[in-house]
Amino acid sequence: MIKLAGKIEKAFSLTELLAAMLISTLVLTAALGLYGRIRKSADNLHQRIDRIQLPREILQRIAEDIDNITGPVSSPQNDIALSINNKLDNFYQTSQLVIERQYYNPKNQKQTFDKIIWQTNYNYDANGLVLYRSHQGLTVEDKLFDENKDDWQKELFIPVTDGLTYFKIEAFKDKDFVDKWSGSAMPKAIRVSLSFTPPYQDIDGKYEVDDLDKEVRTIAVNRARNISFKFVAPDYDELFAEPEEPNEVSDFNEFTESEPDINDFLDFLEN
């Protein structure tokens, strides 16, 4: 206690001060722990959302590149080339898509107007696949950054994302999808499949992903082309026929080949 001008003032003792500090520390620790759990839950939620949205955004970007190059253009169709290749890289399914549109210069020589490459490569540090995209040609995608770059800088492969475990591109041919395509003839559709799900190893050592874990999109090539439709006349008799009653009771006698013999029945009773 402290005496001031004949008055006695009460102050905190050392024990009370230590108790107050201990309680404050416990409250602060609990608050920080709660904040950490909330932050961790929010990060997990964002990762789940990104895991769902990222494959769709990649497929949408590939579809836009195919539409921009293979769509209706002033140059002939044979000035557009497309190639698809698939292979195994460290037992992972990888693929490459090359789309190129050319034009003729005043000397009647072919020059590249647009060329886009999508491909995956195995990365030892990430222990998975890295998706790359490259853009070449006269046109620039970002006039602010790409206009003053040299040609070799424009042709660099830009990593889009890592962590891929499956990436496959197929072309539609003869009512089926094939792993390889090349030339100026365009397929009617392209199917792109990718996944970020951890793979399993089959008996051949190849890493596989279940079909349910793959994000798949079928992309139409040159959607503005003329498509021939065949009209099939409907069968009105079958369309307006009265449905059969499944619970209708049929006559038992309709299923018997002959009338039952009463003599046989009497013999059965006697025996």
pLDDT in tens, 85-132: 999 998 999 999 999 888 888 888 888 888 899 999 998 887 889 999
Question: Quick one: what percent of the chain has pLDDT higher than 70?
Answer: 69
CA distances from 261 to 24, 253, 254, 256, 266 (A): 101, 13, 16, 12, 9
Non-local CB neighbours of 37 within 8 Å, separated by 6+ positions: none
CA distances from 195 to 106, 128, 206 (A): 46, 11, 15
Residue 242 has pLDDT above 80, yes or no: no
pLDDT at 195: 92
Alpha helices by DSSP H, 147-261: 151-154, 236-239
Residue 99 host element (H or E): strand 92-104
- Of residues 206 and 74, more confidence is placed in 206
CA distance 134 to 130: 13
Residue 21 has pLDDT above 50, yes or no: yes
Amino acid in the structure at residue 125: D
pLDDT at 217: 93
Number of DSSP helices (H) and strands (E) in the chain, helices first: 5, 13
- Of residues 223 and 151, more confidence is placed in 223
Non-local CB neighbours of 210 within 8 Å, separated by 6+ positions: 197
pLDDT at 131: 94
CA distances from 153 to 111, 136, 198, 251 (A): 18, 10, 34, 86
Residue 119 host element (H or E): strand 110-123
Amino acid in the structure at residue 230: K
Residue 173 has pLDDT above 70, yes or no: yes
Q: What value does the mean pLDDT take over residues 205-219?
A: 89
Whole-number mean pLDDT of the chain?
79
CA distance 244 to 255: 19
CA distance 42 to 252: 69
Interior CA angle at 94 toward 89 and 97, to 5°?
A: 135
Q: Can you give the pTM of this predicted structure?
A: 0.64
The closest of 229, 192, 4 to 84, measured between CA atoms, is 192
- In this prediction, residue 252 has a pLDDT band, given cuts at 50, 70 and 90, of very low
- Of residues 3 and 95, more confidence is placed in 95
- In this prediction, residue 155 has a pLDDT band, given cuts at 50, 70 and 90, of low
- In this prediction, residue 135 has a pLDDT band, given cuts at 50, 70 and 90, of confident
Interior CA angle at 75 toward 73 and 79, to 5°?
A: 110
Task: Sketch the domain layout of the chain as residue ranges.
Answer: 55-220
pLDDT at 188: 87
